Amino acid sequence: MSIGLTSAARAALLAQVQDIYARLALLPFEHSCTGLSQCCRFRLTGRTPFLTRGEALLARQAARSSGKKKLPPAPDGSCPLLSPDGRCSIYAARPFACRTHFCDAAGGPYPRKLVRDLIHELEAVDQLLGGRGGMGLPAALKWASDQTP
């Protein structure tokens, strides 16, 4: 199912998501993610990041750019974007949740009040793309793949 946007409109929405990520990085919140990637191992943590549609399209686009045409589920339940070397294959385009829900070792999650406005902006983009809120990462990537077979 196509989302029925021109490529220019779609590119503008993805640029908006990137701008949200850039503004998140400017917020005054101390953290120390060292890329241990424990949070990318969903079965281990019991938690899966939720993505809005704009984030999912951006992540899928980045995965394609990095050479990943298909994203089969990992046998160990890890994120399909986790590389065999244990690094995120789309780190610069990783979703909002991957940037804010830090593990305890990295300083814990961002305070919700600090990121609430940015989340609302992501939700607004999601609605423009026909979404109704975040989806778990595997389902969100599947949706994004279906938009650009």
Among 14, 49, 71, 118, binds ligand SF4 (CB under 6 A): 49
**Do the beta carbons of residue 107 and residue 130 sit within 8 Å?**
no
Verify binding: residue 20, ligand SF4, rule CB under 6 A. no
Return d(Cα 50, Cα 46) in angstroms, integer: 13
Verify binding: residue 98, ligand SF4, rule CB under 6 A. yes
Region 100-129 residues binding ligand SF4, contact defined as CB under 6 A? none
Residue number, 14 or 82, with CB nearest to ligand SF4:
82
Return d(Cα 34, Cα 106) in angstroms, integer: 7
Residues at the contact surface with ligand SF4, assessed by CB under 6 A: 37, 40, 49, 79, 81-82, 88, 90, 94-95, 98
